[in-house]
Amino acid sequence: MGKEIKFSLVYRDMWQSSGKYVPTVTQLKEVAPAIIAMGCFDRVETNGGAFEQVNLLFGENPNKAVREWTAPFQKAGIRTHMLERGLNALRMNPVPADVRELMYKVKNAQGVNISRSFCGLNDHRNLRLSVEYAKKAGMTSQVALSITHSPVHTIEYYMGVVDKVVEYGCDEICLKDMAGVGRPSFLAELTSCIKKKYPHIKVQYHGHCGPGFSPASMLEVARAGADYLDVAVEPLSWGKVHPDVITIQQMLKADGFSVKDIDMDAYMQVRSLTQKFIDDFLGYWIDPNNSHMSSLLVGCGLPGGMMGSMMADLKGVHAAINSSLRNRNQAELSLDQLMVKLFKEVEYVWPRLGYPPLVTPFSQYVKNTALMNLMAMVSGKPRWSTIDKDTWNMILGKMGRLPGPLAPEILEIAKEKKLEFYEGNPQDAFPDELDKFRAMMKEEGWDCGQDDEELFEFAMHERQYRDYKSGVAKERFNKELEAARQKAGAPIIVTRPVVEVPRFDVEKIVFAHPEATPVQVPVKGQILWEVDVDDASSAPVCGTKVEKGKPMGYVQTYYGMEEIVPAVSGSIVAVCAKQGDRLEKGEIVAFVE
């Protein structure tokens, strides 16, 4: 028999590459026995990424979910692994070192064996503590290289990262091909270099289908010496997700590799249960386009998991872009034409921003900048008119070193704005915070939990944790679910005469429209009625139709965008905030009747 190739089921990533949510802990416990019975998995990816946040958004305890979900795999001897983002750990912005260290202690105690750690910039400095803390906690440290295809991402570049993380003590390397754009021959060469230089290091390949390279890449890395492959199962395999285990198992078997057999009765049970979860409620947030592969992704290099959010962005600005084009006597664009333009703009923006690998959160920064450029250009403004705070932090080196040089025009804008570039270790800019959060928990009368796991969740996701504890999260999710279920029917558009009233005078609005429903901002931040924040006069006009559950604006927060969603369908009868206003959570920004 040939070399043995082992499989890992990325059940968590299957869901989060498809939609907004993952199954509940009850559903995960229901499917676990069938996954085990398939008999072909040595590993299962159980948590990490946004898993904990999703449970908080459900209004449920994420620590309970991790413990109960990993338990059956531990009992069966199947190793579990999580995904974490290095400096950003389990969120989209940097995390203090003491909170990062506690994460590994908590996750190991909860039954997670392997920590897959990646830095979206492949900056080894952001990975050093991930390796050291994982090992100290008793976990296997697997460092993931964020794979992309560019002139600067060479074999030598990646081996330079490998050399440093092996020096730090990591046990394994993962080739994280998040957009599926890694060329098979390149990935094989990189795998071969790693195995030749470090034969004791295990290599795992993680490749999304996206543009369609991944099956060929899996065969090539297996031939080059890889040990593990990440796979999925129907109905969430292929498309923008991962190849299905059946195809990959048969492909490797035909090539002479030793692979485990698949219990097909159990496979069908996992397939059936997964579909059941989709039909229950999770399918409301799965974009149908995520089931399709697209060669258009080869050029822009965006990860397939972003397609859903990107299409939502495009739909949100489609009308505004066409309005601007009409005002300038230019032809309107279809949604497909707009998508192609955005892909091309990403191709333009990406090298000028230093070739950051297009993985969370840097894929969002590049995509958002490209979208803002499109909005600016159709309005007759120049590119780079708007660059958000998070993207500037990336540009200035506050999150790590960019792989490539910045374009002269970006450097010039930074100079004009008198912005300073950061040369230090990114972690040093974020002092320890656990003592502060421990004191806050004591003040709230909250228990730190088994193995300090509640303290960890609070420190990692303060806002979401507070909403979970107060019950707001569960109430909000139930409303969101109700709105999603009603969305299947035609929206009811209320058409009543609009009485113009002065903006910002809430008492007069209520008097004029006693049945109107207020629209409140969900979080503290800057209101963006449109993405182009330069236009202070931009805001919806009275009479604009809105639909329940669909975003009518956004709030820019320190961690990204939050949608402003009306609770009812109808017409806007008053607007109470200007573009760019800074608001507190709960402030009224409009009334809908």
Last residue of a domain, one of 231, 262, 291: 291
Structural domain count, the chain: 3
What is the CA 166 to chain-centroid distance, rounded? 27
Place of tokens 């091309």: 344
Same domain? 244 vs 366: no
Same domain? 283 vs 338: no
Rounded to whole angstroms, the Cα distance separating 111 from 106 reads 9
Question: Residue 192's pLDDT is what?
Answer: 98
Question: Residue 304's pLDDT is what?
Answer: 61
Same domain? 136 vs 179: yes
Last residue of a domain, one of 265, 291, 317: 291
Three-state secondary structure string covering 48-67: ECCHHHHHHHHCCCHHHHHH
SS3 of the chain: helix, strand, coil, percent, to 5: 45, 15, 40
Same domain? 89 vs 143: yes
Q: Is residue 468 part of a domain?
A: no
Same domain? 327 vs 343: yes
Same domain? 278 vs 303: no
Question: Residue 288's pLDDT is what?
Answer: 80
Residue 572 belongs to what H/E stretch? Answer: strand 570-575
| CATH code of residue 572 | 2.40.50.100
In the chain (593 residues long), the average pLDDT of successive 10-residue segments reads 94 92 97 98 96 96 98 98 96 94 98 97 97 98 96 97 98 96 97 98 96 96 98 95 97 98 98 95 86 81 65 74 82 85 90 91 88 85 89 93 95 94 94 97 97 98 96 94 74 33 51 77 80 51 83 73 85 84 80 88
Q: Is residue 434 part of a domain?
A: no
Cβ atoms of 423 and 120 within 8 Å: the answer is: no
Question: Residue 305's pLDDT is what?
Answer: 58
Return the structure tokens found at 571.
């017409």
Same domain? 364 vs 246: no
Question: Residue 307's pLDDT is what?
Answer: 59
Return the structure tokens found at 491.
């929206």
Same domain? 233 vs 307: no
| CATH code of residue 276 | 3.20.20.70
Question: Residue 446's pLDDT is what?
Answer: 97
Residue 407 makes CB contacts below 8 A (sequence gap 6+) with: 351, 352, 353
Q: In what order do the strands lie in the sheet with 517-520?
A: 517-520, 588-592, 570-575, 545-546
Alpha helix (H) ranges present in 360-460?
Answer: 362-378, 389-395, 408-416, 434-444, 453-460
Rounded to whole angstroms, the Cα distance separating 589 from 527 reads 9
Structural domain of residue 377, as residue ranges?
Answer: 297-429
Residue 6 has phi, psi (to 5 degrees) of -105, 155
Q: Which amino acid is at 260?
A: K
Q: In what order do the strands lie in the sheet with 560-564?
A: 560-564, 553-557, 525-528, 582-583
